[in-house]
Structure 1
Amino acid sequence: MWIEVIGYAASALVAASLLLTSFVWLRMVNLAGAVCFVVYGWLIGALPIVLTNSFITLVNIYYLGRLLSADLSGFSYVPVDENRAGHFHEFVEEYRKDIAKFYPTFSWPLAEKAMSGDGGIYLALRNLGIEGFACFLPVSNLDRDDIPPAIHDYVQKELYPDRSLYISADYITRRYRGIGLVSRLYNRLLQELPSTFSFLVVVIASESRSTHRFLRRNGHIMQGRYDGYSLYVKTLR
């Protein structure tokens, strides 16, 4: 009976790995599933299972090593200017669906408002290619239809709009998630914020567990859920 449990656990891990958005975690969970299959195949005397999953184990170890040893020094974090605005628009269009999974309230009009001087956008560049961005603008410059109305009303009543900054997105491409790049981009943003801001406001998809974990690790506190969105606030000073 316990041998079957190992087989079921292996199947569950491999299936779960395919649902993960981070390449690092995908490889780690898939590796755990492959190892379980090796053990399971050995116990039941199924050599094909052992050989196949031994190969998968080695492949996962190889690519995990490459991901975790990636040279992040090649990344630079720069604000969007007139020369980069067109490339940034192309990036947003290419990754629109993936961005919406994590930051469903982000929109191109919000990005344009941020670039117009009301806020700002930082890009994460590698070899001059965009791999992520952070978009922010003061809450006082948001219209009621820019974010869910219930969240807009909460922020207006419970916080100080003129001292609060709305992070509409802090996005990194799937390839570089889980290796610290998003934290570097986020920290760069915090370093550049004017001292007049005391609160960061973030609205994310309620089902985005990885983003929940990232925000909690960085000192954000969830204020509640509104119409399928989760509202987080971080006190800066």
Structure 2
Amino acid sequence: MELSAVEIFGYCASALVAYSLTQSSIIKLRWINLFGSSSFCMYGIIIGAYPVAVLNGFIAMTNVYFLRKILTQPKQNFSVLRANQPSNYVNFFLDFHKEEIKQLFPSFLNQSQQTEREYFLLMENTEVVGVLSGYRNEDAVFVVDFDFVIPAYRDCKLGHFALGKGNQLAKYTGYSRIAATADSDAHAQYLQKLGFSKKDTLLWTFDGAREA
């Protein structure tokens, strides 16, 4: 049976919606679902199936609302919370994600129990979506050497919010000077995207906002 162009368009829209549900990143899920639901809305209008058009139009607008809220208004969705030490939750978090942590931060787990180390939780409302950790050096600079966000939130630009232009970590630590170290090439590239550059002291400091 030969399919018409309209039917093919409808199947492609369905495929986009289905594919969006396979994404681990909530940002990718919403972008792909936005295109799929918008296409399905158009398909419903074309074939005169107005309940389909209305439903998918509503889904598309919902995706736009949450994408705008997450990407342009991070202070309304995210916060930084100091974790008291020792913390059973922090230990659980590090153990749960230890395999990926070993890849991204090869040296960190061996240093994670240092007494001078501080931990901060990245929160979306009441849900923990990441953990930051660091220590105060002899120059009274707070040095962040661990910045881990769970996969679903890695496209939310939380690095810009906490360490880069948003600089929310400084607000919650009380330190006026925040720096970072890179434990891998991938981490160094990440810091560069945030607007950090490497100084003579081997610390990375924030120079200005860049697009990630």
Please tell me the TM-score bracket, short chain as reference: 0.5 to 0.7
For structure 1, the residue ranges without an aligned partner over 5 or more in a row are 138-164, 205-210, 221-233
Cα separation, 2, equivalents of 1:5 and 1:186:
46
Pair 1:57-2:60 in alignment = yes
User: What RMSD, in angstroms, separates the aligned Cα atoms of the two structures?
Assistant: 4.5
CA distance in 1, matches of 2:77, 2:26: 19
* CA apart distance, 1:30: 0.6
1:133-185 CA distances to partner (integer Å, 9 max, x unpaired)? 13579xxxxxxxxxxxxxxxxxxxxxxxxxxx9956522473x5433323333
Aligned equivalents of 1:125, 1:118: Cα separation in 2: 23
Contact 1:132 1:173 in 2 (8 A): no
Q: CA 1:125–1:24 in structure 2 vs 1: closer, same or farther (change >3 Å)?
A: closer
Give matches, 1:65-214, under 5 Å: 65-68=68-71, 69-72=73-76, 75-76=79-80, 78=82, 82-83=85-86, 85-92=87-94, 96=96, 100=99, 103=101, 105=103, 110-111=108-109, 113-116=111-114, 121-125=119-123, 130-135=128-133, 170-172=148-150, 174=152, 176-187=153-164, 192-193=178-179, 200-202=182-184
Secondary structure of the 1:71 match is helix
Q: Are residue 217 (structure 1) and residue 193 (structure 2) matched?
A: yes
Checking the alignment, whether the CA contact within 8 Å between 2:45 and 2:53 is kept in structure 1 is yes
The one-letter amino acid of 1:86's match is: N
In the alignment, the residues of structure 2 paired with residue 171 and residue 26 of structure 1 have an alpha-carbon distance, to the nearest angstrom, of 17
Large movers: runs of 4+ above 6 Å: 126-129
Higher helix share: 1
Please report the TM-score for the alignment, with normalisation by the length of structure 1.
Answer: 0.52
Tell me if structure 2 keeps the 8 A contact 1:200–1:235. no
The CA deviation at 1:35 is: 0.7
Aligned length: 180
- Assess if the C-alpha contact under 8 Å between 2:42 and 2:53 holds in 1: yes
